[in-house]
A and B are shown apart, each in its own frame.
Chain A
Amino acid sequence: MTTGVLGIPDPWIWMAYLLCLAATLLCVVHSVLAGRKADEAEPTPADATWAKHEKQVEEEE
């Protein structure tokens, strides 16, 4: 009855359908590769100060 991909004839629609899956796959692959590569960074003094002040901001809410 209809041609196209996945029963969807309009290429703009099946492309969107497949790109959603491709973008998700990109997230998965990136996450696996970058998660492996990146070193565990030690928190900087700025990180510690930020966390301390964040706690104060949270308490004010």
Chain B
Amino acid sequence: MKLWEIIAVLVYLLMVVYLGYLGWKRTKSASDYMLAGRKAHPVIMALSYGSTFISTSAIVGFGGVAAMFGMSLLWLTFCNVFVGIFIAFAVLGGRTRKIGHALDAHTFPELLGRRYESRFIQIFAGSVIFLLMPVYTAAVLIGGSEFIATHFGTPYEPALLVFAVLTAGYVMAGGLKGVMYTDAFQGGIMFTGMTVLLIASYGLVGGVMTGHQDLTAMSGQVFAGHTAIGHQGWTSMPAFGWGAAKYNLWWIVVTTIVLGVGIGVLAQPQLVVRFMTVKSDRELNRAVLVGGVFILMMTGVAFTVGALSNVYFFKHEVIRGQLIATSEKANVIAKQERFETRTVPCQLLHIDTTGNGVPDTHVVLKGLGKAEAILPKAEVINLPDGRVEVRPKASSFLRAVVSAGQGQWMFNPDSIIPIYVTRALPRWFSVLFLLTLLAAAMSTLSSQIHTMGTGIGHDVYKQLAGAQTRSITVTRIGMVVGIIFALAIGYYARGGYVIARATAIFFGLCASAFLPAFVGGLYFRGVTRTAAKASIVTGVLVNGLWVVFIKDAEAQALGICKALFGVQSLLFNVPNWPVVDPLIVALPLSAVVLVAVSLFTRKPSDKLLASVFGGGHEIAAPTAPLP
């Protein structure tokens, strides 16, 4: 790491610490604004929400998935902007704020618990969030670590540890106070970094039209393993249908990536509470502008650039350096699940591009045997100075060769964005991008860790031990346990676009479990306590059972299905079902249970309805349950 790079990172960290100090000194948290009867600036509020929403998971993880599967991921960006910002702010935000304040709720589980006068709901929701948030936290940690490993040429494991210590240290030292200036500063860095990335990337591939046309022309370069599941090129939707493996990709992209995350955002505990921190609906409406533009510039850019990286690697990339070694026969892992590993035999070149004698770039020279037809063939020219000039001519997925440890190699989609930024863009941008990712990770991690802590401290312990009990010790222990759990997941789970998958698991679970009860509670007087309990438990159970027994990759990773039934997943040999996201089944069931049980159970008391919806007839919905 060069001196100026260290200085840039230190200056950034000092700025964050300084803003945190300013916030602490002047107490500029959201509640301070409200206590002082003032409003937080909508731009600050929107950037704070946006930087919490968008993390390294979206930029590195989902960006890598776009590089692998193409621009179909832009449907997720559409959902992010339309559902995650417009619906969330303009439709649900105001009602959440009003009811949250009326019920004096300070966490998402508390909002649900008080809305339905149910301690069970608060404790259950707090427990679910505490236990499963680390899966999402791990995704954020992996995203940052993959970039650090690529940028500095270090192994992944120490990068993960350093990144976790750095971000968790910041959060534990004081990043928890919801200081909006810090979030907004980080949001500003993210916006700048992604704007430069977009402009530079379109510039690299020759502009919008040329870039897209070149990407379209590359459809013949799709990896055979992806063609087999329906990949038709980076500017085409995957093949749609049911009943054959060649339709798997459509179901992966649409159900897990687009719907799982696109809808799941509405019931994200760490985001819902943000609506309570504003003073009026006007602030929310004004924040929609900045929020929409910000999210477009985050996921829209990450997915577009991810897809375009294929053009760069295939058509434009030239690597110059010292050839340190050649692996004459390497079996590179193309797919790895717990009970299923697929490798591709090939020759690898290991090149030192920085002059320190350590190979930092690994590319496929050619495939061996049958793999020759499905792998790229790199062009190698020996330069007069003893170095080599290599044109990999590979798609992004096949260019992302990284060490899998113990002498093994793998194609890692989560490394695509880091490799692209490090290889394609100037070093100074790489450092700016590092800061972008640090900012994205810190702002999201702080609210994740905060939500894990309050989940166990405020929502579980305090409810069990009594309202007057101080929960600070339990909250802090909860945070540390959550971080360690996330670190462990990050250590063991790598490869196979795990960042996106882990994020989708958490988002999907939150939607299945909480979305019907949350929206029902905001808009309908007739939703009963029993129905909300049944809906939440149904969502968690169905989602959980689907992950453990049906969703093939996750069922394999957990191994419970194998232990109980001797098969990796119950429907593993039935096409398409093993890749359908749990949300597709669990969310409708959870909603149906909410409606059905509301029809036959005791209606909420008038006193509760008055405190939730006000004394009058503010809510137009009839007293009947959901239509």
Chain A residues engaging chain B, CB cutoff 8 angstroms: 1-2, 6-10, 12-13, 16-17, 19-21, 23-24, 26-28, 30-32, 34-35, 38-41, 43-44, 46-55, 57-58, 60-61
- Number of A-B pairs, beta carbon distance below 8 Å: 174
A31 to B, closest residue via Cβ: B289
15 further A-B contacts with Cβ under 8 Å, apart from A8-B71, A35-B285, A55-B29, are: A7-B208, A9-B235, A17-B71, A24-B81, A28-B289, A31-B285, A31-B289, A32-B289, A34-B286, A46-B102, A51-B31, A52-B35, A53-B106, A58-B177, A61-B457
Task: For the complex, give the distance between the alpha carbons of A21 and B286 in Å.
Answer: 18
Among B71, B104, B280, contact of A49 (Cβ-Cβ < 8 Å)? B104
Among the 9-residue stretches B159-167, B290-298, B413-421, the one with 4 or more Cβ atoms under 8 Å from chain A is B290-298
Task: For the complex, give the distance between the alpha carbons of A46 and B471 in Å.
Answer: 24
Task: For the complex, give the distance between the alpha carbons of A1 and B235 in Å.
Answer: 14
- SS class, residues of chain B in contact with chain A: helix
The answer to whether residues A10 and B35 also contact, given A40-B280, A43-B279 and a CB cut-off of 8 A, is: no
* B: interface residue count bin: 35 or more
Among A24, A31, A51, contact of B286 (Cβ-Cβ < 8 Å)? A31
Could you give, for residues 75-91 of chain B, a 1 whenever the CB lies within 8 Å of some chain A CB and a 0 otherwise? 10110011001100010
Chain B residues within an 8 Å CB radius of A35: 42, 282, 285-286, 289
Chain B residues within an 8 Å CB radius of A28: 289, 292-293
Chain B residues engaging chain A, CB cutoff 8 angstroms: 29-32, 34-35, 37, 42, 70-72, 74-75, 77-78, 81-82, 85-86, 90, 100-102, 104, 106-107, 176-178, 208-213, 216-217, 235-237, 276-277, 279-282, 285-293, 296, 300, 450, 453-454, 457-458, 470-472, 475-476
**Do the beta carbons of A27 and B71 come within 8 Å of each other?**
no
Q: List 29 A-B contacts (CB under 8 A).
A: A2-B213, A6-B209, A7-B210, A10-B237, A13-B70, A13-B237, A16-B78, A17-B71, A20-B77, A26-B292, A28-B293, A31-B286, A31-B289, A31-B292, A34-B286, A38-B285, A46-B101, A46-B102, A47-B279, A49-B101, A50-B100, A50-B106, A51-B31, A53-B106, A54-B34, A55-B29, A57-B106, A58-B29, A60-B472
Task: For the complex, give the distance between the alpha carbons of A1 and B74 in Å.
Answer: 23
**Do the beta carbons of B101 and A47 come within 8 Å of each other?**
yes
**Do the beta carbons of A30 and B288 come within 8 Å of each other?**
yes
A34 to B, closest residue via Cβ: B285
Task: For the complex, give the distance between the alpha carbons of A34 and B32 in Å.
Answer: 26
Min C-beta distance of B89 to chain A, whole Å: 8
Among A7, A53, A58, contact of B104 (Cβ-Cβ < 8 Å)? A53
Chain A residues within an 8 Å CB radius of B282: 34-35, 38-41
Among A9, A31, A48, contact of B216 (Cβ-Cβ < 8 Å)? A9
Min C-beta distance of B180 to chain A, whole Å: 13
**Do the beta carbons of B35 and A51 come within 8 Å of each other?**
yes
Min C-beta distance of A31 to chain B, whole Å: 3
**Do the beta carbons of B217 and A23 come within 8 Å of each other?**
no
Task: For the complex, give the distance between the alpha carbons of A49 and B210 in Å.
Answer: 58
**Do the beta carbons of A8 and B293 come within 8 Å of each other?**
no
B37 to A, closest residue via Cβ: A43
Chain A residues within an 8 Å CB radius of B285: 30-31, 34-35, 38
**Do the beta carbons of A12 and B217 come within 8 Å of each other?**
no
Chain B residues within an 8 Å CB radius of A8: 71, 212, 216, 235
Task: For the complex, give the distance between the alpha carbons of A41 and B90 in Å.
Answer: 16
